[in-house]
Amino acid sequence: MSDGRPETRPQVIDGPYFSRLIKASLTWLKTNQEAVNALNVFPVPDGDTGTNMVLTLQAAYDEIEKTSQDSVGRLAEKLAHGALMGARGNSGVILSQIWRGFSKGIGKIEVLDGQSLVHGLTQARETAYKGVVRPVEGTILTVCKDSASAAEDALQNTNDPYEIIHEVTEAAHRSVERTPELLDVLKEAGVVDAGGKGLLCIFQGMVRYMNNQPLDVAPVSVKPLSSIGKQEAQNAAEPGQDYEVIVDFRPYNPLNLEDFYSDLEEMGTSIQVGEGDGIYRMHIHVPTDKRYEPIDYTMSLGSISKVHIENLMEQVEGQEDPDITDEPLKLTTVEPGQIAVVAVSPGSGFTRIFASLGAAAIVEGGQTMNPSTQELLAAFENLPTDRVVILPNNKNIIMAAESAAELTVKNVRVIPTKTLPQGLSAMLRLIPGQEMDEVVQEMEEAVQEVESGAITTAVRTVEIEGIKINRGEIIALHNGSLVSSADNLKDGCLSFLDAADADQYELITLFYGENISKGAATDMADLIREHYPDQIIELQYGGQPHYQFIISIE
């Protein structure tokens, strides 16, 4: 996008330049389309705000694409017409009203100066607000209003439309950031308003074009500092990128993230950048001979406070775990007439534990991958017995298990186990030759006698039952209900044990997930032993995804 920007800008915007600004807005809005969609908090069918705004602005731009030699007044009229015809969804309708107001406000002008730009924006505000009986603040309407007010203020000092667009964009940015303060649903979901953000993108596109900044590259995201660590890096070790380097530094000058990323990309892979309180953390995987390069490079940008280098190959080797074996799984063979247990397991560790306790069939599934009724049916239809017990081990799977029980001629009973500890506890009561009713009763009793805990990382910022959770924080669930959120795994585990009154029980078993190393799990078990000296602490490999730990207390 470097074509045709005049070296010295005149104090007006002519037709061709105006239409290039609109094209820049459209391009930038498209670049950010998914980011805007992701902000949506209402699960309504027209909820894809980013897409709706892109389609509306595209329809508007289509009207002027071939006639960019026209006057600005004429172009704005066509834009308004195109936006009206193409308006999609709520945000699209509001955007079309904004264009209609803008077009009316600037009138039949040849070129756009500061004065007429401000007329356009204030009229856009009036028109936008006329379209609704009770305007909701904290939405695109608020951003439109704040932008127009900023334009009016800017006009006191300058008649340069370029400068006014800059001012307006900054005001729009502040306004978007403020939307959660005005609208509770946004605050609860921890997002800014999608429509407001879309309008901001339209202004930003113009500014980026004027500054010769790229329009087709989405801005690089910066994660919170706490979310970048070694754990997730371990999964990503790849051949040739043998060293992991993490550098904490405070830049001398504001960091240009795009340049920073592209420089790092020349050195290695798995690049992540985090920021907190002005300190940046850079994470990268590099080949052995380049292991000092990222440090030298970062040193040129700021003062380094911490460096961490680790040989990933060592990590991978060190991770080899006696609990994770390649031995083929040995399931219990049932005799005709005996009771066969079908257990649902989310990970290889749990699968082995269930198998060792006498399960006749295992169906893979869990929190995010519920097995279908068909898969459950297939697991027991061919077993040489007609007496079957299913342990769903997840509340979302109980229903599928019950449907499977109805669809077969076999005598199938579902023990409604909602958690893995409940399933294991029930499993221990299995006596294959006993009467069905007795076994089911024993198992159902066992389910009541165990407390289940799950420790995981929040995937987004929410507030549930009065507990505020930030994305990336550790959350602890007790029998499926949230009990606390914490900064680290240690506090998460301890707060769960505390909430479950673990000191009143005898045995605490930790099942560590696929994303936790044996070393880290052992440390956690030791820590729990210190806090609960009277209880027996056991550590097992569960191999479940998402959950760092599943904890059973009995």
Partner 1 sequence: MTNDIQPQGNIHISKQTIATIAFQAVQRSYGVVGLAPKNIVDGLTNALVKDPTHGIDVEYRNDLINIDLYIIIEYGTRIKSVAASVANTVRYQVEKTLGLPVNEINVHVQGLRISNSD
- Residue closer to partner 1, measured from CB, 44 or 220: 44
Q: Which helix (H) or strand (E) holds 129?
A: helix 114-130
- Residue closer to partner 1, measured from CB, 66 or 134: 134
Task: Using CB under 8 A, list all residues that contact partner 1.
Answer: 42-46, 84-90, 92-94, 96-97, 100, 104, 127, 130-134, 136
- Residue closer to partner 1, measured from CB, 133 or 409: 133
- For residue 504, what is the DSSP state? G
Region for residue 217 given its phi and psi (left: phi exceeds 0; alpha: psi -120 to 50; beta: otherwise): beta
List the structure tokens of 368. 């995010």
- Residue closer to partner 1, measured from CB, 202 or 426: 202
Least spacing, CB of residue 60 vs partner 1, in Å: 12
- Residue closer to partner 1, measured from CB, 85 or 218: 85
> What span, in angstroms and rounded, lies between the C-alpha atoms of 503 and 451?
12
Least spacing, CB of residue 105 vs partner 1, in Å: 11
> What span, in angstroms and rounded, lies between the C-alpha atoms of 293 and 312?
17
- What is the sign, positive or negative, of the torsion defined by CA atoms of 544, 546, 549, 554? negative
Nearest 5°: the CA angle 531, 536, 540 is: 100
> What span, in angstroms and rounded, lies between the C-alpha atoms of 338 and 354?
17
List the structure tokens of 131. 């379209």
Least spacing, CB of residue 141 vs partner 1, in Å: 8
- For residue 351, what is the DSSP state? H
SS3 268: coil
> What span, in angstroms and rounded, lies between the C-alpha atoms of 76 and 64?
9
Nearest 5°: the CA angle 49, 51, 57 is: 100
- Residue closer to partner 1, measured from CB, 161 or 180: 180
- Residue closer to partner 1, measured from CB, 46 or 375: 46
Contacts of 265 (CB under 8 A, 6+ apart): 271
- Residue closer to partner 1, measured from CB, 130 or 174: 130
One-character DSSP codes across 156-193: TT---HHHHHHHHHHHHHHHHHHHHHH-HHHHHHT---
Least spacing, CB of residue 346 vs partner 1, in Å: 31
Rounded to 10 degrees, the C-alpha dihedral 527/533/498/541 comes to 50
